[in-house]
């Protein structure tokens, strides 16, 4: 049996399946104006950097890269010395989903710690602090946390501050992988002040700032709050193959993204649509959707044959197959019509 209506035009597969926001695309088109010197010696790059300093209300150092793995590896390369290690969760993107890029480029160990919710805690860091100062061990030197996490949870500003305080007390630095940072910011209040409360104000040293999942075409940013770590960032960016020659086409996107609250507006839609999907499907008890999503993902349980029926209709990712768990994810461009269509498909699949 098959679902009797056309699938939604926008997938629940991933926010990186989304396209580019029209205003961002317009900015790209505008940037295509005669010649501009490469590598950031253009008009838009200084503008974009200035907007990041305004956003974080501080003289931060911002550099743009091509993608998220590049952002994380560049950030960590600036933070690590030889024979050091990164502490992260066992579900961290750097630990699981970057094909070993950190190990290969950094030559560093990742110490990954199991968590129940994708959130690291000071006690987790404490459990490995004894490895410092012993020449037989790679020295834990950087804590990397993901905000929002890979499991759709969000650290509160206090939680981040506690991690940063504990880390700094013990000589470790803190990196935040913010591939979905705007979703987290919206979950916590959707203002620059809120964004600052769990990043620069909480003590984070370096932030990978994600734009692509949020509505950009390509290009992420690495923001150094601890600017002493940025000494060699431009050299390392080139070395990690993340220096964009026609930089203006990335910077122009950020100039648009960081103005008029566009970054918050887009994430607000993504988060809201996940909530709408939750509201429209939670009555199917078998899905196990007992708590509303914090950001833009749901992790339903779907048994067969419903799962196959639904996935043949419209693709989404499995999450924990042995437990029949899947992931639905909304994006900046998901519409209520998409949600209604998808919810109807879910209903049909479960009835089959």
Of the candidate residues 3, 11, 75, 202, the single one contacting a second copy (CB under 8 A): 11
Side-chain-side CA neighbours of 116 within 13 Å: the count stands at 0
Using CA atoms of 337, 178, 292, 278 in order, give the dihedral in degrees to the nearest 10: 20
Compute the radius of gyration of the chain from its Cα atoms: 21
Are 106 and 138 contacting, i.e. CB atoms less than 8 angstroms apart? Answer: no
Side-chain-side CA neighbours of 303 within 13 Å: the count stands at 8
Of the candidate residues 4, 81, 228, 285, the single one contacting a second copy (CB under 8 A): 81
Number of residues interacting with a second copy: please give it, by CB under 8 A. Answer: 77
Of the candidate residues 2, 5, 9, 260, the single one contacting a second copy (CB under 8 A): 9
Of the candidate residues 64, 105, 155, 198, the single one contacting a second copy (CB under 8 A): 105
Distances (CA, A) of 213 to 164, 168, 183, 352: 26, 30, 10, 34
Q: If you ran DSSP here, which 8-state letter would residue 225 be given?
A: S
Which residues, numbered 215-274, are part of the site for a second copy (CB under 8 A)? 217-218, 232, 234-246, 249
CA distance 95 to 309: 32
Of the candidate residues 46, 54, 83, 352, the single one contacting a second copy (CB under 8 A): 83
Of the candidate residues 57, 97, 279, 312, the single one contacting a second copy (CB under 8 A): 97
323 binds a second copy (CB under 8 A): no
Candidates 106, 114, 69; CA nearest to 86 is: 106
CA distance 330 to 18: 9
CA distance 301 to 307: 9
Q: Which is nearer to a second copy, 56 or 332 (CB)?
A: 332
Of the candidate residues 4, 135, 285, 290, the single one contacting a second copy (CB under 8 A): 135
CA distance 74 to 311: 36
In the complex, the smallest distance separating the C-beta of residue 154 from a second copy, rounded to whole angstroms, is 22
Distances (CA, A) of 20 to 178, 225, 230: 19, 28, 30
Of the candidate residues 35, 59, 228, 285, the single one contacting a second copy (CB under 8 A): 35
Of the candidate residues 13, 340, 347, 350, the single one contacting a second copy (CB under 8 A): 13
Q: Which is nearer to a second copy, 36 or 160 (CB)?
A: 36
In the complex, the smallest distance separating the C-beta of residue 88 from a second copy, rounded to whole angstroms, is 12
Q: Which is nearer to a second copy, 55 or 88 (CB)?
A: 88
In the complex, the smallest distance separating the C-beta of residue 333 from a second copy, rounded to whole angstroms, is 8
Q: Which span sits near a second copy by CB under 8 A: 49-57, 154-162, 210-218, 299-307?
A: 210-218
In the complex, the smallest distance separating the C-beta of residue 141 from a second copy, rounded to whole angstroms, is 10
Task: Report CA torsion sign: 326, 89, 206, 58.
Answer: positive
CA distance 309 to 324: 14
SS3 297: strand
Q: If you ran DSSP here, which 8-state letter would residue 9 be given?
A: S
In the complex, the smallest distance separating the C-beta of residue 167 from a second copy, rounded to whole angstroms, is 19
331 binds a second copy (CB under 8 A): yes
30 binds a second copy (CB under 8 A): no
150 binds a second copy (CB under 8 A): no
116 binds a second copy (CB under 8 A): no
CA distance 249 to 36: 10
CA distance 265 to 214: 10
Residues 182-201, mask of contacts with a second copy (x by CB under 8 A): --------------------
32 binds a second copy (CB under 8 A): yes
Residues 42-71, mask of contacts with a second copy (x by CB under 8 A): ------------------------xxxxx-
Give the chain's largest Cα–Cα span: 64
In the complex, the smallest distance separating the C-beta of residue 165 from a second copy, rounded to whole angstroms, is 22
């Amino acid at each position: 049996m098959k679902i009797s209506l056309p699938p939604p035009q926008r997938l629940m597969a991933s926010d990186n399946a989304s396209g580019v926001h029209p205003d961002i695309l317009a900015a790209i088109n505008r940037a295509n104006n005669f010649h501009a010197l490469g590598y950031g010696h253009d008009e838009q790059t200084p503008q974009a950097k200035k907007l990041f300093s305004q956003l974080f209300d501080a003289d931060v150092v911002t550099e743009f890269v091509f993608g998220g793995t590049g952002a994380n590896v560049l950030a960590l390369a600036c933070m690590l010395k030889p024979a050091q290690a990164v502490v992260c969760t066992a579900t961290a993107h750097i630990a699981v989903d970057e094909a070993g890029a950190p190990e290969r480029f950094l030559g560093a160990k990742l110490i990954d710690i199991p968590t129940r919710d994708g959130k690291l805690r000071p006690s987790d860091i404490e459990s490995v602090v004894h490895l410092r100062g012993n020449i037989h061990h790679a020295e834990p030197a950087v804590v990397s946390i993901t905000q929002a996490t890979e499991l759709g949870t969000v650290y509160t500003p206090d939680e981040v501050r506690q991690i940063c305080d504990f880390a700094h007390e013990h000589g470790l630095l803190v990196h935040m992988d913010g591939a979905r940072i705007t979703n987290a910011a919206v979950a916590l209040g959707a203002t620059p002040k809120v964004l600052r409360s769990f990043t620069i104000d909480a003590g984070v040293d370096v932030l990978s700032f994600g734009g692509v999942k949020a509505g950009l075409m390509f290009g992420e940013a690495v923001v150094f709050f601890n600017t002493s770590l940025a000494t060699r960032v431009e050299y390392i960016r080139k070395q990690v193959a993340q220096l964009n020659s026609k930089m203006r086409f990335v910077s122009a996107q950020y100039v648009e993204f960081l103005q008029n609250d566009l970054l918050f507006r887009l994430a607000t839609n993504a988060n809201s649509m996940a909530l709408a999907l939750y509201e429209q499907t939670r009555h199917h008890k078998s899905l196990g959707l007992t708590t509303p999503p914090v950001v833009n993902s749901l992790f339903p349980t779907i048994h067969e044959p419903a799962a196959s029926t639904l996935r043949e209709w419209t693709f989404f990712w499995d999450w924990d197959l042995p437990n029949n768990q899947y992931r639905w994810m909304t994006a900046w461009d998901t519409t209520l019509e998409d949600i209604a269509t998808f919810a109807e498909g879910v209903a049909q699949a479960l009835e089959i």
